[in-house]
Structure 1
Amino acid sequence: MAIRPLQILFVLFMLHPNYSNGSENWILEPTGNYEIPLDFPQLGGLSAINVHQSGKRFVTISDKGKYFIGNIERDNAETIIDIQIIESGSLLNSAGEHLSGRNTDSESLTTIDNQAFFISFESNHRIMFHESLQAPGTFLPKHTDFKKFSPNKGLEAIAVNSKGQIFAIPEEPPGEDVDFPLYKFNGETWSIFSRFPTSGSFLVTDSVFLPDGDILILERDYDWSVGFKMQLRLLHLNDHTITGQTALLSLNSGLHNHEGLSLWQNESKQFFITSISDNNFLPFVTSEIKEFKLQKTNINK
């Protein structure tokens, strides 16, 4: 049976974890890096990650329309020791067939109860709903802006807040626009919730909502002298607009092009942020996982 967009939104509202709202500000404390060994050649081109089960399980997708489910082994400090892939496969189109051609470029995912997923795609710019990673996709409607995206600079970031509302951000402003749009889906159509300025030549690569309802943006830049650079920028939101922004992190990541972002809690309810890099399938470049402890500063916005 086909699922209508409003049904999707209802399921999302009922199942998505409801973190408490507030007005906390945050700081990030690095907890470690892990480089996926080169003897995992299938784990290339990674564009998104979801970490769950208290940091012990992950889902990642590649920009070739592939998904991977794995286990994470950690030490007592929550630092990654090892990963194991337990399942992999191809994402499916609405007819239940493997993706092909310009339909394969999966870029971001957000999850409902770690079972159902919204996945965004470039080239053929769209967002699909999958009841599971093994299930056919269902098309969500498109905003008219989607036609303005460059072929390789489309919907890089999708995220769901504690109210079950879906938001999306493109890699760069569409067309002749100067600022980034923050799109919001109401169950039937997309609207532009608000806009926010670019940060130099940084491009958006992913986003995730924090427990207080603000949205954390992962951005990437490239400099020939130092390689890739990554930054994490926090957008402060109310019910109607973006009210401000805070730069949380900026660092050089060298060979590692970080594209995926996830928020998770360990068994002690401590929040962590995980990012993952896209090695562009280069055989001499590893895929890197960076992790940070997310700490409250207890300073009002």
Structure 2
Amino acid sequence: MRFWYTLSTGKKRLLLLLGIVALGSLLYSGVAQQRLINPLLAPLDQRAQHVLKQSLMLSSASFATARLIDRGIAFVSEAQFSVGVASIKPGQVLKPLQDMAVRYSDIMVLAMTSVGLQLFLVEFGKLAALPLFGSGVIVAALGWLLGPASWRPACTYLLRMFMVLLILVRIGIPLGAVAVGALSEWVLEPQRQATEMALSKETAELQSVDQPLATPDSGALAWLKQLASNANELFAAVKTFSDNMVEKLIQLIVIYSLKTLIFPLLSLYVLWHLGRWFVLRPLPVISTADAVKPAI
């Protein structure tokens, strides 16, 4: 650093210009990205992609389960049979469960969209963040170095902004995905596995309902009929089944909302405010005495 302060202003500018040219050569030749940055960050990228693909697979399976519940209940709700002298439609009691399954499938669509967007940003950062935002850094640095003094505040803010965007997209988003995955594995995964296991067990009878029921003694309707010997017991059993399923769907909605929506958005919010603080912090003030101090 002492050597730097001994140089004249012209020599300092020349060295900075040579440094920018060298940085541009590494950037546009692909050496910086293919041989330095990407190999260095490869473990982080692979871990982030693994976590996001696993979340996408789980969200897709949950969406399929929700649609299966909705389809099975739609078939059952229109069927009726007689118990003694009463004619009943047990599927109507499952209507709240069907509504909750529809809401659950909507949440799963949002979850898959969120995870897909994060996967895109991770891939985008790996392929295009350095050439795109690195070019902005070089242009802002050249403007600061070669332009008039009145350009320097704006060029400084642009330089900071492109640096923050580069770090946020190339490192922050994969790091946030890995952190969210680790937090979800620690806090949410045991509850998710237990809830989905119970959900799969209780929907086992609905999985056989692929076509509308032809007779009152086939498929899920026969299963429901065997739950009780009269209408009151049957409706009580169906209502209990529906309430239990609704409770489990609510738990899964909370888990997937936290895992695929709230936690990723919270991590992006924190990263964004850190970057915003770095970009908008005041520029250093150079005193008049320092500005007119002759170079040694």
TM-score, normalised on structure 2? 0.18
Q: Hey, which of these two has a bigger chunk of helix by percent? A: 2
Q: Which has the higher contact order (CA 8 A, sep 6+)?
A: 2
Q: Hey, which of these two has a bigger chunk of strand by percent? A: 1
When Rg is computed on C-alpha atoms for both structures, the one with the higher figure is: 2
TM-score, normalised on structure 1? 0.18
